[in-house]
Amino acid sequence: MNIAILFGGSSFEHEISIVSAITMKKVLKKSTLTYIFVSPDRKFYLIDTAKINSKLFSSGEYKKSKELTLRQGGFFADGMFGSKSIDVDVTLNLIHGRDGEDGKISSMMEFFNIPFISPRMEASALSYNKLYTKFLAESLGVKTVAYEYLSKNDERKITMDYPVIVKPVRLGSSIGVSIVKEASKLDYALDVAFEFDTDVIVEPFIEGVKEYNQAGCYTSNWELSIVEEPQKEEFLDFEKKYMDFSRDSQVLAADIDDAMTSKIQESFKKIYNSLFLGSIIRCDFFVVEGEILLNEINPIPGSMANYLFEDFEGMVERLFKNLPKEQKITVDYQYIHSIQSAKGKA
């Protein structure tokens, strides 16, 4: 299978996307990988798989690579003797944050009729925005962490008790996130968050809360990962998550009973089905007094959460064979013809 790894983008998470993309070389060993880089100014470049490394991008050397155009059916390299298509079976969207997770890339892939693995437009819009994620989960009967919403021009007041955690609505990887332990520190935390977004959510910071991650997808059957209990520190900042995104070896399952595993997986299925068909996502849950609460949806998790699966590459191939397809619409202009015919008779 020939997989195009699409990565980069105009995003605060641009560098994390590069780390995730490079990790795929260690993970997708049986597949042929074609790397397509989206620069910060949103140009497409064909990157030599053998030469890909982080310095290629930080130095700007990638600009010497062949530039691509996106047209009906796929990516093309324009040359002196015309255009040549880049031959791939499927595109794996690995752009974290804006462009990749907000629906732009998904919309382009569908518009140009390119098979791709990623949340579709509606799923992207709802999972990229943490406030909309709350609305989605609640409508599906999945409980979420309590929250308050503030916009940049709102009065800076909250009603919940401290400590709290402040999160930009449209960012991941802990960018712009702060833990606030007293009211006098709220203003500064909001200043930090508003550097990255115009809207924030404020949630109670629950010290020592049990957190579990569940990833998966639906191919012809449910393919669910192990349930992971992630590394527990008070707060995983950007740098720790940056390193976390380069993981490529399977981790151990959480030490929880079958009943708790089943509850987490049922909540995951409610979120996934059927909005996220065609994608591999990870949901992060808190367990508070035995109750499962959705913390967030990761529509394009770091390194695609490969480390949670026993047969990640096989799953990618099975997902490719079961991608959702847009309804084919035939336009025959019958309505216009009938109007023209009626006018002719008049």
Neighbours of 104 (CB within 10 A): 17
What is the pLDDT at residue 174? 80
CA distance readout (Å), 251 to 153, 163, 254: 43, 31, 9
Name the CA dihedral angle for 216, 24, 278, 93, rounded to a multiple of 10 degrees.
130
In a 13 Å sphere around the CA of 26, the CA atoms on its Cβ side amount to 16
What would the 3-class secondary structure string for 195-237 be? CCCCEEEEEECCCCCEEEEEEEEECCCEEEEEEECCCCCCCCC
Give the 3-state secondary structure of residue 143.
Answer: coil
What is the pLDDT at residue 341? 85
Q: In whole angstroms, what is the distance from residue 152 CA to residue 173 CA?
A: 21
- Across-strand partners of 79? 82
Name the CA dihedral angle for 131, 134, 140, 144, rounded to a multiple of 10 degrees.
180
What is the pLDDT at residue 340? 83
Q: In whole angstroms, what is the distance from residue 165 CA to residue 176 CA?
A: 11
Q: What is the mean pLDDT of the chain?
A: 92
Name the CA dihedral angle for 146, 188, 173, 208, rounded to a multiple of 10 degrees.
-50
CATH number of the 2-117 domain: 3.40.50.20
CATH number of the 160-204 domain: 3.30.1490.20
Helical spans, DSSP H, in the chain: 14-27, 54-58, 104-111, 121-128, 130-139, 186-194, 238-244, 258-272, 312-320, 334-345
Q: In whole angstroms, what is the distance from residue 10 CA to residue 104 CA?
A: 11
State which residues of the chain have pLDDT below 70: 173, 232-249, 344-346
CB-based contact 256:106 (threshold 8 Å): no
Q: In whole angstroms, what is the distance from residue 228 CA to residue 215 CA?
A: 9
Q: In whole angstroms, what is the distance from residue 233 CA to residue 174 CA?
A: 13
- Across-strand partners of 202? 148, 166
CB-based contact 227:285 (threshold 8 Å): no
Burial of 29 (0-12, 13-18, 19+ CB in 10 A): exposed
What is the pLDDT at residue 207? 85
- Token pair listed for 232: 């527990």
CA distance readout (Å), 127 to 113, 122, 157, 217, 254: 23, 9, 26, 15, 25
Q: Determine phi and psi for 34, rounding to 5 degrees.
A: -120, 115
- Token pair listed for 257: 């009973």
CB-based contact 158:150 (threshold 8 Å): yes
Report cis status (omega within 30 of 0) of the bond before 163.
yes
Q: What are the structural domain ranges in the chain?
A: 2-117, 126-144+207-320, 160-204
What is the pLDDT at residue 105? 96
Q: Which fold has domain 126-144+207-320?
A: D-amino Acid Aminotransferase; Chain A, domain 1 (3.30.470)
CA distance readout (Å), 130 to 39, 133, 298: 26, 5, 10
